[in-house]
Amino acid sequence: MPTPATNKAATLDRTVAYLKGIGPAKAKLLGEELQIHTLGDLLHAYPFRYVDRTKFHRIIDIIPNEGAVQVKGKLTSLNVKGNGRAMRLVGRLRDDSGAALELVWFRGINVLSNMFIVGEEYICYGPVTEFNGKLSITHPEMEAAKRAPSAENATFEPVYSSTEKLNRRGLDARGRRKLIRALFDELKATDVPEIIPDHLMTELRLMPRIPALKAIHLPANQAELEAARRRMKFEELFLLQMRLLQLKVVRENQVAGYTFGSIGETFNRFYTEKLPFELTGAQKRVVKEIRHDLGRGVQMNRLLQGDVGSGKTMVGLLSMLMALDNGFQACMMAPTEILAYQHFEGITEYLEGMDLRVEFLSGSVKGKARKAILEDLAEGKIDILLGTHALIEPTVVFKNLGLAIIDEQHRFGVKQRAKLWVKNKPYPPHVLVMTATPIPRTLAMTAYGDLDVSVIDELPPGRTPIQTVHFTEHRRQRVFGRIREEIAKGRQAYIVYPLIEENEKLDLLALEEAYDEMRHKFPPPEYQISVVHGKMKPENKDAEMARFKNGETQLMMATTVIEVGVNVPNATIMVIVHTERFGLSQLHQLRGRVGRGAEESYCILLSSVKLSKESRERIKTMVETTDGFKIAEADLRLRGPGMIDGTQQSGVLQMRIADLAKDGRILSVARDRAKDILEADPKLDNPQYAPLKAHLAKYMAAVKGWGRIS
């Protein structure tokens, strides 16, 4: 028996072995199987589902593929069938309705066949499918009916994630519930102090902490459970936001930076004389935000989000001019040679007559030319350096780098980005990271919650929206006809094929076959076709891209290598083949390659006839909207937060109870309130925040290392 802790708050740090009904062996198993080591872990391992023990489906009424059902019936047989990989345990469950269904297990056959008893009554839960006219549930959740609490005792039961090992040792649903009851018997009010400040409790009408935790595990009814869940979701998101905002303050205090105090002649001259268009409202706002950042004496670490074509490059250029005006050099790094060179060409053109030296550096700049650039860079003779990964090589030394811009940041690894930091002394350069992958607001607030985020949420005027349509494959002749029409008008076309890594060879083969077909449909000399794919040598790829860009070829057949940033305004039609094999954000990026000029543009999504529900949903989203943020929200809904581009490396998305796809409103409130509190009382010195402060201090240590994008 551990000695009773003198510090009461430490109760939750005790091992679960401390509880009645669980010895060291079972405690160890809980730790191994579910990472539940302490009482606190147990308290915060919430049920993932609740069942109403009074409601059962009658097997005779079950419609397959309509979600999970709960049935209660007698196990009438249990047999191992098949062998090798097809070996499975099959049980039959018959209920009062007289109908039966099959229960099927492919794993744990030995254990399970000894655990279940033919003739006993069981409560089974799981989604029902139909195979050969038979209803079945694969790997159902099972509980002996006699061990389940009776309807009078508890109608609303928590279900926890468990494993077969735990079930066998008595830590099944029932065992866990017993443990939870024992835990609540032990807990004193001081063990679980209220950490949400009083004024928020009142304002948001939140359930107090202990009752809420209790109701999460052992709810009396649906209403109580809902109130408890709302409270715990708020708590989770509020604490997360408090931590992120505190980290932000810490970061800002630690990393000093150059102060770009003045907007000078270069910027002003460019702005008044050279700027070829009026900035959109969103661009102006973002430039202002960046200008403010650069003037504070703190290193800027800002993420700029803006949909494809929203004009991020110009914002980047204006920021670089601010650095130049303060006596510094600036650089911008892009993930591909094509893209980097495009920046170089574009920016050189914008800056014509400005007497600034702009250079380009990539792996293909070699020999004397490279040497000259490196020397001049070190001597400060070059103002702006544009290029690829080559920029972060150790041989590239700046005289005084004041601002580093990273375009399409999700293409770079964290380590690569970090190398830019050490390019300057004593202070690191200011860093602006640009991405065309819109991140849903809720994700941005968490994944990048401690960073500064700017958003360009407005496209330059005069764009004709892209018309998107969906066709099934057997209507491709019509699609070819549309392509011909566009080419006849002097326009160009993209045809995009999927390339999935584990299937690369097959995909390439498919691309070759498709090329033969296209050659046939679009014969020379009238039509010229470019082909670009990821397996080509970079120089060949670039040469083909260049041919298309110059208008020497009218058709560009490509795999997703064209996804990022390529600008060919004369291309007005894109056909995506096997659309169902692309993810939403990828489709959005691809589509952004057309609609870059003033002409009306088209995107045709070809797919097979048979589509999964999710593919159908993705295609529907693409047809309905061109708004990158809406598409990102749909992506989040369809795939969950862990899968969204650009956020995988973030450790903050594993939540216990909140769901970023659904709890955006709670999240906004949590963030706003956290901000208010920290603005009024940055150190949480007011005694009313003491429990909150203590709680945060405990967890701050665990989250070190979060939060730098570069």
Chain contacts with ligand ADP (rule: CB under 6 A): 277, 279-280, 283, 306, 308-314, 436, 460, 567
User: What's the CA gap between 191 and 421, in Å, rounded?
Assistant: 44
Element (H, E) at 124: strand 121-131
Tell me whether residue 565 or residue 664 sits nearer to Mg ion (CB atom): 565
Among ligand ADP, Mg ion, none, partner that 707 touches (CB below 5 to 8 angstroms by kind): none
Tokens, residue 564: 């990022």
User: What's the CA gap between 10 and 186, in Å, rounded?
Assistant: 13
Tell me whether residue 28 or residue 463 sits nearer to ligand ADP (CB atom): 463
Among Mg ion, ligand ADP, none, partner that 31 touches (CB below 5 to 8 angstroms by kind): none
Does residue 565 belong to the site contacting Mg ion (CB under 5 A)?
Answer: yes
Tell me whether residue 140 or residue 565 sits nearer to Mg ion (CB atom): 565
Tokens, residue 162: 């468990």
Among ligand ADP, Mg ion, none, partner that 131 touches (CB below 5 to 8 angstroms by kind): none
Closest CA to 57 of 119, 137, 120, 154: 137
Tell me whether residue 568 or residue 670 sits nearer to ligand ADP (CB atom): 568
Tell me whether residue 45 or residue 308 sits nearer to ligand ADP (CB atom): 308
- DSSP code for 298: B
How many whole angstroms from its chain centre is CA 218? 33
User: What's the CA gap between 323 and 329, in Å, rounded?
Assistant: 6
Beta carbon of residue 343, minimum distance to Mg ion (angstroms, whole number): 8
Tell me whether residue 429 or residue 565 sits nearer to Mg ion (CB atom): 565
Instruction: Classify the C-alpha dihedral 104-106-108-110 as positive or negative.
Output: positive
Beta carbon of residue 368, minimum distance to ligand ADP (angstroms, whole number): 32
Classify strands 430-435 and 156-159 as parallel, antiparallel or unpaired.
unpaired
Among ligand ADP, Mg ion, none, partner that 308 touches (CB below 5 to 8 angstroms by kind): ligand ADP
Beta carbon of residue 571, minimum distance to ligand ADP (angstroms, whole number): 13
Beta carbon of residue 592, minimum distance to ligand ADP (angstroms, whole number): 7
Beta carbon of residue 320, minimum distance to ligand ADP (angstroms, whole number): 13
Tell me whether residue 33 or residue 458 sits nearer to ligand ADP (CB atom): 458
Among ligand ADP, Mg ion, none, partner that 420 touches (CB below 5 to 8 angstroms by kind): none
| Per rule CB under 5 A, count of chain residues that contact Mg ion | 1
Burial level of 463, CB count in 10 A (0-12/13-18/19+)?
middle
Cβ–Cβ under 8 Å, residues 338 and 545:
yes
CA angle 160, 442, 564 (to 5 degrees): 115
Beta carbon of residue 563, minimum distance to ligand ADP (angstroms, whole number): 12
CA angle 412, 417, 418 (to 5 degrees): 150
Tokens, residue 298: 């703190």
Cβ–Cβ under 8 Å, residues 631 and 592:
no
Tell me whether residue 306 or residue 438 sits nearer to ligand ADP (CB atom): 306
Beta carbon of residue 311, minimum distance to Mg ion (angstroms, whole number): 9
Among Mg ion, ligand ADP, none, partner that 306 touches (CB below 5 to 8 angstroms by kind): ligand ADP
Among Mg ion, ligand ADP, none, partner that 429 touches (CB below 5 to 8 angstroms by kind): none
Among ligand ADP, Mg ion, none, partner that 317 touches (CB below 5 to 8 angstroms by kind): none
Tell me whether residue 92 or residue 312 sits nearer to ligand ADP (CB atom): 312
Rounded to 5 degrees, φ, ψ at 312 are -75, -35
Q: Mask: binding to Mg ion, 519-558, rule CB under 5 A, as x and -?
A: ----------------------------------------
Which residues in 467-500 are b (16+ Cβ under 10 Å) and which e? Answer: ebebbeeeebeebbebbbebbeeebbbbbbbbbe
Classify strands 134-138 and 121-131 as parallel, antiparallel or unpaired.
antiparallel
- DSSP code for 630: H
Burial level of 504, CB count in 10 A (0-12/13-18/19+)?
middle
Beta carbon of residue 469, minimum distance to Mg ion (angstroms, whole number): 26
Beta carbon of residue 709, minimum distance to ligand ADP (angstroms, whole number): 18
Q: Which residue is nearest to ligand ADP (CB)?
A: 311
Among ligand ADP, Mg ion, none, partner that 48 touches (CB below 5 to 8 angstroms by kind): none
Segment near Mg ion (CB under 5 A); pick from 92-100, 328-336, 561-569, 688-696: 561-569
Q: Which residue is nearest to Mg ion (CB)?
A: 565
Tell me whether residue 459 or residue 531 sits nearer to Mg ion (CB atom): 459
Tokens, residue 430: 């200011």
Instruction: Classify the C-alpha dihedral 379-383-387-392 as positive or negative.
Output: positive
Which residues in 290-300 are b (16+ Cβ under 10 Å) and which e? Answer: beebbbeebbb
Beta carbon of residue 318, minimum distance to Mg ion (angstroms, whole number): 14
Tell me whether residue 244 or residue 459 sits nearer to ligand ADP (CB atom): 459
Beta carbon of residue 462, minimum distance to ligand ADP (angstroms, whole number): 7
The residues that touch Mg ion, with contacts defined as CB under 5 A, are 565
